Amino acid sequence: MTDLDLRELQGTEFPVPADLQGNVAITSLSKIYNWSRKNSVWPMLFGLACCAIEMIATAASRYDLSRFGMEVMRASPRQADLMIVSGTVTKKMVVPIVRLYNQMPEPKYVLAMGACASGGGPFKEGYNVVSGIDKYLPVDVYAPGCPPTPQALLFALIALHRKIDGQSLANMDDVPWYGVGPSDPTPIPILGPDIIDPRQMDIIRRQAELAAAGLPYGKREVPDLVLTAGAASTSAPRTAAEKAADKVASAPAAAAADDPEKAARLAKREAALARKRARQQQQSE
């Protein structure tokens, strides 16, 4: 940014005398603050999979990331502002990723690059694959593609710039890192029999109790509205004990009867699904 055009910063109604235009800028603090930091977002030097190759190609001479003040890729999370999650996040890898995220100083941003980081991508069904980094970390920008081309990544970065531009210093919700005290770190997942997110302890405990009681567990208690015939069992631990238990508490509506809140939620959901189906039918017709 050698040619600094001050007019770009002019943001208030204050009249600047004609002979001072180009020499003096009057603007809001948010605007100049965001303008400067959006043009020096330092990404972390951090590649996961195929997308990392396109990320490197973006940083190379042809696409030239340095046009956006972002060429300074830092290997240390403590010097980075942006984590580009460039590739498939596996359960084994999400532990170090959360650690790295926690080590980044605020304000920090996460860009989910490609289908895998956004939602698991082609490997979603894999037993060691996390279906999107947003299951563990807050994501600011998603870049679709498998892998996104350098152009797509640049577009995502510009989207991030726009987001930074819109964060007002006057609004504490926009800039929570100026609040009181340090923000809470994201709890680090545990590699047990499968990956365990400490934030999900309650739901895991509830399921474990169900399992101990010989009741069906590991399956969501929503009516199987769509997948009726054909696709039979959906989850692995369907045992004889579970089928027997099905008879006891077969209809999920019955299970939810003692919990009106849940029943209402289920009804709402059912209606939404019905609407969706109707819409699908309409489309197919």
Partner 1 sequence: MTDQSLVPERLEKADLDTAYKVLKEKYPDAVRDDTRTGYSGVIVDKNRLVDVAKTIRDELGFNYLSHATAVDYLGLGDHLEMVYYAYRISGGPGLVFKTQTDREKAEVPSLVSIWPGADFQEREAYDLYGIRFSGHPNLKRILLWEGFNGHPMRKDWKEPYYEQEHKPFDSRWPKGYVRRAEELNPYGKNVQYPADIDLSRLNDISEESIYSGMGLGVDIQELTTSDGIRTDRLVVNLGPHHPSTHGVFRMVVTLNGETVETLEPVMGYLHRNHEQIGERNAWIHNIPFTDRLDYISGMGNNHGYVLAVENLLATGARYQPPTYRAEVIRVLMVELNRIVNHLWAIGFLLNDLGAFFTPSLYAIAEREKILDFFEATSGARMMFNYMRFGGLAKDLPEYIRSTANLVNDQIRDFNTMEYLTDLINERLPRAIDELDTYLTESEVMTSRTIGVGYLPPEMAIAYSCSGPLLRASGVPYDVRRADPYSIYPELDFDVAVRYNGDIYDRYLVRIDEMRESIRILKQILPRLERTKGEPIFAGNKAYMPRVPVGESYGRVENPKGELGFYVVSAGDEKGTQNPWRYHVRAPSFINLTPLGQMCQGHKVADIVAVLGSIDIVLGETDR
Please report the DSSP string for 73-129 in residue order: -BSSGGG-SEEEEESPPBHHHHHHHHHHHHHSPSS-EEEEEHHHHHH-GGGTTSTTB
Nearest-angstrom CA–CA distance, 36 and 161: 11
Binding track, positions 264-283, relative to partner 1; x by CB under 8 A: ----------------x---
Site for partner 1 in 131-150 (CB under 8 A): 131, 135, 146-147, 149
The residue count for binding partner 1 (CB under 8 A) is 72
Q: How far is the CB of 134 from partner 1 (least distance, A)?
A: 11
Q: How far is the CB of 213 from partner 1 (least distance, A)?
A: 10
**Would you say 7 or 269 has its CB closer to partner 1?**
269
Which position among 24, 53, 248, 251 is part of the footprint of partner 1 (CB under 8 A)?
Answer: 53
Which position among 2, 3, 19, 127 is part of the footprint of partner 1 (CB under 8 A)?
Answer: 127
Residue for token pair 């009181």: 180
Binding track, positions 8-47, relative to partner 1; x by CB under 8 A: -------------------------------------xxx
* Structure tokens belonging to residue 111: 């860009």
155 binds partner 1, rule: CB under 8 A: no
**Would you say 70 or 129 has its CB closer to partner 1?**
129
105 binds partner 1, rule: CB under 8 A: no
Site for partner 1 in 75-94 (CB under 8 A): 75, 87-88, 90-93
Nearest-angstrom CA–CA distance, 28 and 11: 6
Nearest-angstrom CA–CA distance, 105 and 85: 17
Number of neighbours of residue 27 by Cβ within 10 angstroms: 16
Site for partner 1 in 159-218 (CB under 8 A): 190-197, 200-201, 203-205, 207-208, 211-212, 217-218
**Would you say 30 or 90 has its CB closer to partner 1?**
90
Omega within 30 of 0 (cis) for the link into 107:
yes
Which position among 226, 251, 254, 271 is part of the footprint of partner 1 (CB under 8 A)?
Answer: 226
Dihedral over alpha carbons 162, 163, 168, 172 (to 10 degrees): 180
66 binds partner 1, rule: CB under 8 A: no
Nearest-angstrom CA–CA distance, 32 and 103: 27
Answer positive or negative: Cα dihedral of 138, 140, 143, 147: negative
117 binds partner 1, rule: CB under 8 A: no
Measuring CA to CA, which residue among 179, 84, 176 is closest to residue 133? 84
240 binds partner 1, rule: CB under 8 A: no
